[in-house]
Amino acid sequence: MNKDFKPYIPAGKVISEMTLTSIILGLLLAIIFGAANAYLGLRVGMTVSASIPAAVISMTIIRIIMKRDSILENNMVQTIGSAGESLAAGAIFTMPALFLWAREGVMGFPTLLSITVIAFLGGLLGVFFMVPLRNALIVKEHGILPYPEGTACAEVLLSGEKGGSSAKAIFSGMGIAAVVKFITDGFKVVPGTITLKIESFKTELSAQIYPALISVGYICGPKIAAEIFAGGIIGWLVLIPSFAFFGDDTVAEIYAAGGASGIWSSHIRYIGAGAVATAGIISLIRTLPLIGKTFVEAMKGIGSAGASSSERTALDIDMRIVIGALIVIILGIWFIPAIPVTLIGAILIVIFGFFFSAVSSRMVGLIGVSNNPISGMTIATLLVATLLLKLAGDVGLHGMQSAIAIGTIICIAAAMAADTSQDLKTGYILGATPRKQQIGEILGITAAALVIGWVMILLDKAYGFGSENLSAPQATMMKLVIEGVMEGNLPWALIFIGASISVAIRLLGASALATAMGIYLPFEVSAAIIVGGLIRLAVDKKNKNADNESSQGILFCSGLIAGEGLIGVILAVFSVLDITDKIDISAYFSAGWIGSIALFIALIIAIYRTAAKN
């Protein structure tokens, strides 16, 4: 243990930590933020960290309402609660591909049980992998690896007096987003998208007015938002007009039938997929030295992990339990029909999972969760797995199912390892008991795994993955990668155009991954994101707090995302129960695009005024 560091709660002091209150509240937040982030990820291919919002909500309920004063109890709530967000991120980046194949008639729809089991096993791997990694990454690297989200969450919890105003920002954001979502998608009083067709240029410009998208831009910041928007400009103001003006008769027919959106669907999304895949692989290649160092340190850390210690703050889950659990997980992966792999395949999943979990945990320690190239790791995994399966003669339906199952488990494991490392960093600063946090993570993934399948099935029935409402961009890309390797049916010329664009952007020094996502996403998404980025730019110039992860603006936008996500799930329930048409009042009253613009401006003002109060 780092002997020079003294946690806020000394190792010799024992206070309330894993209580019934913290467990119940943490499980509720794991479910809420898991569902909200599943919706957001399926909309735009991005999720947001739930640690700080969960910490603020916990302080509000435990410290202010219940009048209980235990910082470690609040930390346990955010530890359990944030697990739902990370498990959702790993699941929705991959598993919707199974739904897309089912809709195409390639296979049957995945069952609730299969989704739950795959998510649960992947989540367990991520948590158990962080037991030996904790000593190497959190303790020995303290002062070297900053873990920005984990450190920021500790600062929020240490600043208990900020709980009231911070909680107000989150809950007001949730309320405003709920109202906006009901107006647009529930009552349908105003359209959720504003579109301007430019016939002379053979394209169209559009923007969605949803709170979550503006909030994503605000949280990401002006730089990343601008890079995403740059991708939108390349796609809709360069590539689409080029295809429309210089394409063959087939392109002309596509434009005549579907306009600019038709060309985007038939051509640009493949260019975007090539760009995203290449950008992810570039991110992975650039971290190879870091990968090697992390792997070596992790191997060294295993020897001391779980060692007996008289200090409460150095206690991990016993390594004998971890090794036994990993053996059971390997057997589970091998025996469960939903994961069609051999015993050797199951062992390889665990080995690759540990490798990428170690990389992911160290990466978030340096650059934070938002910039962690998990999608790149997953693409690399899918490419290798699909090639090996094809070489082994495992092709067709069985091979595709095997590939996506392998990719899903490793993606979830890497996402959960990243979240667990951030939470353990928070606990290290505060003086929490690592073993209790690790158990809390397991409780959180259990709750989230039980819910994520239900949420995915519900959202698919209500909106349809791959549709305008839920494009599921990451999963669609994973599907294209697997099909391209298995069947060789991808338009490789378009893929290589996208790959070349990412290489050129990287050579210019910009973020290839963010720009590639802008090409891949519809313009209406990137347009809304840049608005949020511009609001953040204005607020940062006024407040001089660009790096303050616990600012009112960040918390308010987190509330907006959570609120819209939850109402999105509720409206999906309404759709399945045939209640949607009953609350639709557009036939009686509609404010049209004027109402959309007014609502959009109102959201911009609300975010700016809330954030500018700091």
Helix (H, G, I), strand (E, B) or coil at 491: coil
Q: Is residue 248 helix, strand or coil?
A: coil
CA distances, 400 to each of 121, 201, 276 (Å): 19, 40, 21
Residue 64: which region, alpha, beta or left (left: phi > 0; alpha: psi -120 to 50)? alpha
Q: Which residue has the tokens 């002006």?
A: 222
- By the 8 A CB rule, do 473 and 521 touch? yes
Alpha-carbon dihedral of residues 207, 209, 211, 212, nearest 10 degrees?
A: -40
CA distances from 282 to 271, 273, 504 (A): 16, 14, 12
- pLDDT value at residue 372: 58
Q: Quick one: which of 538, 546, 560, 547 has its CA closest to 608?
A: 538
Output the pLDDT for position 168. Answer: 77
Residue 152, CA distances (Å) to 52, 158, 426, 549 in order: 8, 10, 8, 6
pLDDT score recorded for residue 240: 92
Closest among 613, 567, 574, 588 to 192, alpha carbons compared: 567
pLDDT attached to residue 310: 63
For residues 98 and 458, the answer to whether their CB atoms sit within 8 Å is: no
* Pair 496, 118: CB distance under 8 Å: no
Q: How far is CA 464 from CA 33, 47, 188, 210, 576, in A?
A: 21, 19, 19, 19, 12
CB-CB contact of 472 with 100 (8 Å): yes
The pLDDT, as a whole number, for residue 606 is 94
pLDDT of residue 307: 47
The pLDDT value given to residue 247: 82
Distance, C-alpha 603 to centroid of its chain: 23
Listed residue (562, 513, 24, 517) closest to 281, CA to CA? 513
pTM above 0.75, yes or no: no
What pLDDT, on the 0 to 100 scale, is given for residue 1? Answer: 47
In the predicted model, residues of the chain with pLDDT beneath 50 are 1, 161-163, 305-308, 546-547, 549-550
Q: How far apart are CA 447 and CA 217, in angstroms?
A: 29
Are 48 and 99 in contact by the 8 Å Cβ rule? The answer is no
CA angle 366-370-376, nearest 5°?
A: 90
Query: How much is the mean pLDDT over the chain?
Result: 81
**SS3 assignment, position 463:** coil
Closest CA to 141 of 127, 126, 151: 151
Q: What Cα–Cα distance (Å) separates residue 25 from each residue in 49, 57, 266, 419, 579? A: 17, 9, 46, 18, 30
Report phi then psi at 203, rounded to 5: -150, -175
| Residues in a beta bridge with 208 | 193
- Comparing CA positions, the residue from 392, 409, 412, 378 lying closest to residue 482 is 378
Q: Residue length, the chain?
A: 614
Q: Give the whole-angstrom CA distance, residue 425 versus residue 3.
A: 16
Query: By the 8 A CB rule, do 135 and 2 touch?
Result: no
Identify which of 286, 252, 250 has the alpha carbon closest to the alpha carbon of residue 503: 286
Q: Is 573 exposed, middle or buried (0-12, 13-18, 19+ CB in 10 A)?
A: middle
Residue with tokens 């994973």: 478
- 198 — phi, psi (to 5°)? -120, 90
Tokens for 540, please give them. 């940062």
Contact 96, 460 (CB under 8 A): yes
User: Quick one: CA dihedral 369, 563, 559, 161, positive or negative?
Assistant: negative
Angle at the Cα of 212 (from 165 to 612), degrees rounded to 5?
A: 40
> 66 in helix, strand or coil?
coil
* 82 contacts 424 by C-beta, under 8 angstroms: no
User: Minimal CA–CA distance to 125: which of 456, 450, 411, 454?
Assistant: 411
C-alpha dihedral over 243, 249, 254, 257, to 10 degrees? 130
User: Do 380 and 411 meet the contact criterion of CB atoms below 8 Å apart?
Assistant: no
Burial pattern 59-92, b for ≥16 Cβ within 10 A else e, equals bbbbbeeeeeebbbbbbbbbbbbbbbbbbbbbbb
Give dist(CA 599, CA 365) in Å, integer.
38
- What are the b/e assignments for 329-341, b being 16+ CB within 10 Å? bbeebbebebbbb
